[in-house]
Chain A
């Protein structure tokens, strides 16, 4: 029997799990793993900070549907992954994080670069492992990928002590896994589905509320079919953007704090919410006691813990969104046959008039450089076919509002955790996973500085991501809150004197442009899209432009601050 090292076994198991690329950064206790990688055809992208590796793995996963993999050393390498792991956890993204650990016999002695990473990540992983016996290795790797990518997806961390990766193991050792404590429910209860169809039949003003779970289960197509057959308008969450085409008459866009006015009003008026793969986050619901007071709620989710967590549910359906929606569609066609009542027809007319009356607006005639104008131009010039990543803040909300997403996995944005610095490394991951697509990070001047070191990763690995910086010289979202709720006391949000972004990107070997005038926007974006390199466009936008509408924190979602 041939023996191989634990590190070689790890690489072999990663190959068997279908891994094509790893985002990582070496260090002392992962040298054996990096040595094994040296002989492997798995692509390794060397980042410049482990946080970048975790976000890149996340962006890769969101944009491809495959499981993303990141690798870091023990101690600070592992702790640098944490924001990325937490981010993937909050948005249910399949990521496997592999960390090195000090040797088993020194664990617990505060050894050099030791950190209890399984302890630290317990609240932000779906599951984690500390491998203590080399024989567990093949089964743990297989199990980790299985757990990360099935059910409600999420990050799984595997901590591998250096003596395990240096130790020897029979190369033919087979991994048999049986995860007794993990049996996700995929099929919806048929009686509940019939119950749901009855509620739909009785409803006069139904809406569908679709979120990231629809993307995870690849259910966008069946969701769209169902919405069209049943003539039900669709509201999405931020992570649900793209599961239903924004261009459709039935689309109400995103609801919530910076959602469209018509989506928020539709929530307030509806008598039936068909919620799919959403968790009713506070940024969507606003004041819970006022949220959708008149609505019956059908909640479809693969995670039973989400059902009834925030919003009272009348018809709970635990199951995979794609399965449940296709069953629901079949039953709906059998029972209701796509006939719509006069009341529902009136509701659709009401929706259409809300959409035209309360459309998103900004001062289009202004000569000033408006963020929304830039986003619209990016949409036009990419024909809506790019993968758009964002950081977190005002630019993120403008992107969600003004770029029309028509396909799932085209908006890569940190929803739950709201992580500044996510977008650019995520864009690197997305571009690695989708080399033929245009990948754009729409950023703020604050956020982009949080993982700016990854410019080097993009240039040296030839990953031609485009960055559009909506530069207002402020930490804009916080400034907006200070303007509205804190008497314009702009405490520590003015960052106008940060850096010359054009010179910065050039220093890394990328290309930079600066745009100050409205009439330069289109030509510069065109140029940026044509260059096969890292490009950053620094848009000097009107500094105190706000995101409208806005529901103040803790208010009901029909209480919106609107632009003049």
Chain B
């Protein structure tokens, strides 16, 4: 059994220009590891949405990526305000993003729905005033270099 690869990223909450940098880096690593294109696309899009959520709502956070032969797990953790109503946040089109964020093209209310759509498992743990941790998993077909 191959060892789990782990990558850790700090997501800068004050820099929209670099938002997505961790996702792009993970995409590059997964390609090097020989994962198929669809798996890479699903993982990187879901992670990007998580990154953007942390920048928009929580002034940044951290992303830990665990890569196994059969599964890629990403844990996105922030110390933001928490999510008052998860079922509402999961509805497509629902967003609490401010106008200045919407002007950049974010805040479509598709972040969490996209994360769910592109992953096999998703778990949201949130405490108001403390922060949110989102864990997503994508199962692979095992065809890679691990």
A and B bind: no
